[in-house]
């Protein structure tokens, strides 16, 4: 028996920059919207973002999220701190199951993001402390500027690790690529690429991490090395399983496939933000959410006009 009271125009799963941007747009389209969020936005980990246009002094991720929440609620969005456990299709819409209640909606926007893989052997305390001080970073596009001319390490290998090291090389000449386990698995051509761009290769694993002032010291099998910042390049988990379970097409890398209006392969089911392959940036998440919300509005209007 159904346990839901209201059927929303749109249920947004995820309350990060993508989900909250969509909620602002949907509310302003006079649509009823519910946001369910499990409270683990990657944006909440940002001590201060400095590349978001319109914030010349930068803004902390948590502050940005709070402001976006307030803005969405001001236009009628309901936001609840709940994790969606499963989504099912029903005629003309969907239901979402949480621990305490079910919710129903005509459309769903999945904005569940990704979670970065953490460096093995780093305690949670040290991780959070290093992140807050800029000694640990996850996003060269976001904050490579902040390590200009400083010593930086990337924990990773293969094409992903080397690409990230090469990207950071345009900020600093002191770039070290540390293999997570033992020797690097780079082929001779990749090793030559690293040598050519002056990237130093070191064997892992990282046996110990320590914070010294605002720098990070890594103990490797060959000894201790100190860096201004370390970037893990170990990939991420993409939270697309709720959509995959109802048949939405997901790429081999786990990202949701969408059309130019952010529609997945399941009618009425949309996706935006990091859960879709893209730049993994706040501005990109916001842009995709605006496109998705407008498509949702237009697709719902096609079915039944929303005259005032
Ligand atoms: C350390 C760090 C620094 C960064 N710095 C910058 C920067 O300076 N500039 C920039 O543009 N970008 C930066 N980024 C990237 C930026 O944070 C992301 O691109 C952005 O947060 C993506 O937004 P999103 O809404 O797609 O996903 P997220 O912000 O990750 O939000 C996803 C939300 O969905 C929720 N969720 C997941 N599954 C469920 C479920 N089953 N039920 C309910 N809720 C669920 C999560 O709890 C989370 O709140 C940084 C990232 C990190 C980690």
CA of 6 to the centre of ligand 1 (A): 28
In this structure, are 122 and 266 located in the same domain? no
282 lines ligand 1 (CB under 6 A): yes
CA of 193 to the centre of ligand 1 (A): 32
Does any domain span residue 249?
yes
Atom of ligand 1 nearest to the CA of 61: 17
In this structure, are 299 and 219 located in the same domain? no
288 lines ligand 1 (CB under 6 A): no
280 lines ligand 1 (CB under 6 A): yes
Of 228, 224, 231, 165, the C-alpha closest to 198 is 165
pTM for the full predicted model: 0.97
Average pLDDT for residues 232-247, to the nearest whole number? 97
In this structure, are 125 and 228 located in the same domain? yes
User: Does residue 146 carry a pLDDT above 80?
Assistant: yes
Grade residue 4 by pLDDT with cuts at 50, 70 and 90.
confident
Atom of ligand 1 nearest to the CA of 115: 30
Does any domain span residue 86?
yes
Does any domain span residue 109?
yes
DSSP letter string, 220-273: ETTEEEEESEEEE---EEE--HHHHHTT--B-TTSPBP--TTSB-SSTTEEE-G
Q: Which residue minimizes the CA distance to atom 8 of ligand 1?
A: 49
Report the CATH number at residue 214: 3.50.50.60
In this structure, are 102 and 25 located in the same domain? yes
Average pLDDT for residues 45-69, to the nearest whole number? 98
Task: Return the best residue to mutate from 112, 117, 233, 283 for the ligand 1 pocket (most ligand atoms within 8 A of CB).
Answer: 112
In this structure, are 17 and 106 located in the same domain? yes
Record the tokens describing residue 217, joined without a space. Answer: 């010291």
Does any domain span residue 2?
no
Atom of ligand 1 nearest to the CA of 114: 30
pLDDT digits (tens, 9 = 90+) for 240-257: 999 999 999 999 999 999
In this structure, are 56 and 151 located in the same domain? no
The whole-angstrom separation of Cα 190 and Cα 179 is: 14
pLDDT of residue 2: 57
In this structure, are 219 and 89 located in the same domain? no
**276: which DSSP letter?**
B
The whole-angstrom separation of Cα 33 and Cα 39 is: 18
In this structure, are 124 and 111 located in the same domain? no
Average pLDDT for residues 281-292, to the nearest whole number? 98
Reported as half-sphere exposure (CB side, CA atoms, 13 A), residue 78 has a value of 13
CA of 196 to the centre of ligand 1 (A): 35
Q: What are phi and psi for residue 34, nearest 5 degrees?
A: -120, 130
User: Does residue 284 carry a pLDDT above 90?
Assistant: yes
CA of 45 to the centre of ligand 1 (A): 8
CA of 203 to the centre of ligand 1 (A): 31
Atom of ligand 1 nearest to the CA of 50: 8
Grade residue 5 by pLDDT with cuts at 50, 70 and 90.
confident
CA of 113 to the centre of ligand 1 (A): 5
106 lines ligand 1 (CB under 6 A): no
Among the candidates 232, 262, 281, a domain finishes at 232
The whole-angstrom separation of Cα 106 and Cα 179 is: 48
Grade residue 110 by pLDDT with cuts at 50, 70 and 90.
very high
Atom of ligand 1 nearest to the CA of 282: 11
60 lines ligand 1 (CB under 6 A): no
User: Does residue 279 carry a pLDDT above 80?
Assistant: yes
For the chain, percent of residues with pLDDT exceeding 90: 97
In this structure, are 125 and 222 located in the same domain? yes
240 lines ligand 1 (CB under 6 A): no
Average pLDDT for residues 285-302, to the nearest whole number? 98
Does any domain span residue 181?
yes
13 lines ligand 1 (CB under 6 A): yes
Grade residue 3 by pLDDT with cuts at 50, 70 and 90.
low
Domains in the chain: how many in total?
A: 2
Does any domain span residue 138?
yes
CA-to-CA dists, residue 265 to 34, 164, 178, 233, angstroms: 22, 32, 40, 30
In this structure, are 150 and 226 located in the same domain? yes
In this structure, are 167 and 227 located in the same domain? yes
In this structure, are 191 and 54 located in the same domain? no
**β-bridge pairing 236-238 and 208-212:** unpaired
Among the candidates 178, 202, 232, a domain finishes at 232
Among the candidates 180, 214, 232, a domain finishes at 232
User: Does residue 31 carry a pLDDT above 80?
Assistant: yes
CA of 291 to the centre of ligand 1 (A): 18
Residue ranges making up the domain that contains 269: 7-115+236-303
DSSP letter string, 178-217: E-SSSS----HHHHHHHHHTTPEEE-----EEEEETTEEE
Does any domain span residue 308?
no
Nearest 5 degrees, angle CA 271-CA 283-CA 272? 0
């Amino acid at each position: 028996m159904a346990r839901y009271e209201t059927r929303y125009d749109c249920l947004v799963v995820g309350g990060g920059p993508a989900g909250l941007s969509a909620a602002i747009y949907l509310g302003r389209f006079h649509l009823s919207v519910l946001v369910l969020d499990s409270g683990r936005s990657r944006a909440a980990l940002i001590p201060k973002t400095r590349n978001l246009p319109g914030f010349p002094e930068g803004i902390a991720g948590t502050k940005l999220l709070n402001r976006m929440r307030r803005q969405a609620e001001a236009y009628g969005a309901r936001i609840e701190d709940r994790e969606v456990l499963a989504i099912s299709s029903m005629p003309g819409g969907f239901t979402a199951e949480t621990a305490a209640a079910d919710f129903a909606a005509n459309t769903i926007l999945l904005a569940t993001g990704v979670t970065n893989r953490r460096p093995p052997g780093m305690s949670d305390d040290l991780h959070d402390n290093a992140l807050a001080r800029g000694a640990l970073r996850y996003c060269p596009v976001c904050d490579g500027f902040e390590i200009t001319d400083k010593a930086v390490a990337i924990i990773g290998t293969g094409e992903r690790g080397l690409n990230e090291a090469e990207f950071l090389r345009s900020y600093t000449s002191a770039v070290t690529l540390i293999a997570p386990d033992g020797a690097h698995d780079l082929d001779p051509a990749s090793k030559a690429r690293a040598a050519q761009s002056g990237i130093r290769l070191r064997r892992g694993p990282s046996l110990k991490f320590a914070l010294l002032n605002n720098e990070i010291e890594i103990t490797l099998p060959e000894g201790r090395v100190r860096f201004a910042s370390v970037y893990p390049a170990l990939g991420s988990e993409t939270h697309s399983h709720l959509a995959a379970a109802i048949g939405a097409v997901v790429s081999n890398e786990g990202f949701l496939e969408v059309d130019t209006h952010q529609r997945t392969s399941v009618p009425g089911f949309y996706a935006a933000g990091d859960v879709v392959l893209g730049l993994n940036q706040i501005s990109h998440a916001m842009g995709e959410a605006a496109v998705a919300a407008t498509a949702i509005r237009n697709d719902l209007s096609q079915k039944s006009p929303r005259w005032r």
